[in-house]
Amino acid sequence: MQDEKVGKGKVTFIQGDFFNDTWLKEIRFFCALNPELYPKWALQHTKLLAPLPTGNLIYLESPHHKDPLAPSPPFTSPSKAYMEHLSHPSEKISYNNKGLINADPF
């Protein structure tokens, strides 16, 4: 284990047809984008995914322990950010002065 404070992670393997439109795999693209682009990112993902409940987004959440106010990529990417943006595609999401999401994604 590299970081005792973070603890062990969890891995789930999913086997499927890459060309099937019911899922997308997101690896470190969200965190590389300027946060101003998150609404467009969410809208594009909702266009590409099959409708719920069959559509699934598989993502690697990283980095989620980085300071949300750090000025350059990779930007912090906590679960709440993914959920809030995907729950409200194309909408501007409110962040507080600490760089954290104000709203509850559910």
Task: Encode pLDDT of 17-74 as tens digits.
Answer: 666 656 677 777 888 889 999 999 899 888 888 777 777 777 777 777 889 898 888 9
- 83 within some domain: yes
Domain count, the chain: 1
Domain ranges, residue 78:
23-87
Whole-angstrom distance, CA of residue 37 vs CA of residue 82: 13
- 28 within some domain: yes
Token digits of residue 38: 């998150």
Place of tokens 């086997």: 15
Split at pLDDT 50, 70, 90, the class of 15 is confident
- Per-residue model confidence (pLDDT) at position 17: 66
26-54 burial code (b ≥16 CB/10 A, e <16): beeebbeeebeebbebbbebbeebeeeee
Q: What is the pTM assigned to this prediction?
A: 0.70
- 1 within some domain: no
Split at pLDDT 50, 70, 90, the class of 77 is confident
Whole-angstrom distance, CA of residue 70 vs CA of residue 21: 35
